[in-house]
């Protein structure tokens, strides 16, 4: 027996709302009664459902792929910075070359930093750097409970990829991160400085600050023992406004 076809079809808006379960119950009944007799609209709804399922599967996969691509861009930027510093820093060129060739730019720890960048608030981000950290890395940074907070005017901040940044309270950003060992990275907003405090294992380790902008130069500092404070410390002073990736040299 041939299925009857209605002369009046459902609108695309009605089909979308039906599939997304946004229609009131009375209208749902009307749609279901309609598709009993309308093969065209029934097929359209089935296709819309298949599309919705595919989209729900594709979206997180696409975001993950975009994240991996962005992390790879950061790693390649670190590789280029290492190669450039090999030329400008001859006393540590051999170490930089080992870092580049043996570890492919990956480090013992890494974070993203924004310092008064255009359209950004000053902050440290611990996400988006997995591809820059070597296996079994010594330090894994997270937000410090005692860190100063910076209110965001947007209610919730976004990271460099446009996804929600890690915060303990919506609208608050951290200016420092810590590892369970007590290692710490912090931003001094007043002096546009980045401070890095590690443990004794890091004595003499290199710390590199790589700008996102190709117009700015990458910087490298060495962790030194500070007798007054009894810490292993280095800092980047008067950092120009911009976005950066901070990476710690792999320990041998």
Residue 210 CB: number of other CB atoms within 10 A?
A: 26
Kindly list the domain boundaries of the chain, sorted by start residue: 12-61, 74-248
Please enumerate in sequence order all residues whose Cβ is within 8 A of that of 37, keeping only pairs 6 or more positions apart, or say none.
3, 4, 5, 6
Question: What is the per-residue pLDDT for 174?
Answer: 77
18 or 151, which is more confident: 18
Question: What is the per-residue pLDDT for 241?
Answer: 93
CA distance 90 to 88: 6
Mean pLDDT of the chain: 82
> Tell me: the pLDDT tens digits for 214-237?
889 999 999 999 988 889 999 999
Give φ, ψ of 35 to 5 degrees. Answer: -75, -10
Residue 164 CB: number of other CB atoms within 10 A?
A: 11
Q: Nearest to residue 189, comparing CAs of 221, 149, 162? A: 149
Predicted TM-score (pTM) of the model is 0.67
Residue 213 CB: number of other CB atoms within 10 A?
A: 12
Give φ, ψ of 103 to 5 degrees. Answer: -105, -5
Question: What is the per-residue pLDDT for 13?
Answer: 81
Across residues 169-182, what is the average pLDDT? 70
Please enumerate in sequence order all residues whose Cβ is within 8 A of that of 103, keeping only pairs 6 or more positions apart, or say none.
134, 250
155 band by pLDDT with thresholds 50, 70 and 90? very low
> Tell me: the pLDDT tens digits for 19-66?
888 888 889 999 999 999 898 889 888 888 887 777 676 667 666 777
Percent of the chain with pLDDT over 90: 50
């Amino acid at each position: 027996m041939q299925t009857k076809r209605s002369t009046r079809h459902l609108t695309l808006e009605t089909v979308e709302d039906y599939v997304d379960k946004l229609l009131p119950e009375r209208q749902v009944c009307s749609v279901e009664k309609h598709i009993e007799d309308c093969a065209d609209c029934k097929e359209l709804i089935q296709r819309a459902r298949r599309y919705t399922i595919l989209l729900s599967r594709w979206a997180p996969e696409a975001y993950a792929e975009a994240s991996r691509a962005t992390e790879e861009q950061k790693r390649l930027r670190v590789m280029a910075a290492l190669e450039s510093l090999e030329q400008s820093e001859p006393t540590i060129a051999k170490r930089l070359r080992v870092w580049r060739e043996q570890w492919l730019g990956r480090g013992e720890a890494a974070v993203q930093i924004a310092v008064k960048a255009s359209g950004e608030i000053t902050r440290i981000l611990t996400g988006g750097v997995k591809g820059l950290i070597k296996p079994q890395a010594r330090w894994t940074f997270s937000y410090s409970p005692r860190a100063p907070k910076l209110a965001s005017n947007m209610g919730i901040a976004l990271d460099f990829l446009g996804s929600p940044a890690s915060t303990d309270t919506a609208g608050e950003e951290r200016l420092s991160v810590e590892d369970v060992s007590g290692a710490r990275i912090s931003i001094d907003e007043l002096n546009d400085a980045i401070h890095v405090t590690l443990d004794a294992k890091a004595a003499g380790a290199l710390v590199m600050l790589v700008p996102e902008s190709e117009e700015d130069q990458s910087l490298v500092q060495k962790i030194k023992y500070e007798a007054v404070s009894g810490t292993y410390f280095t800092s980047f002073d008067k950092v120009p406004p911009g976005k950066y990736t901070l990476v710690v040299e792999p320990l041998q």
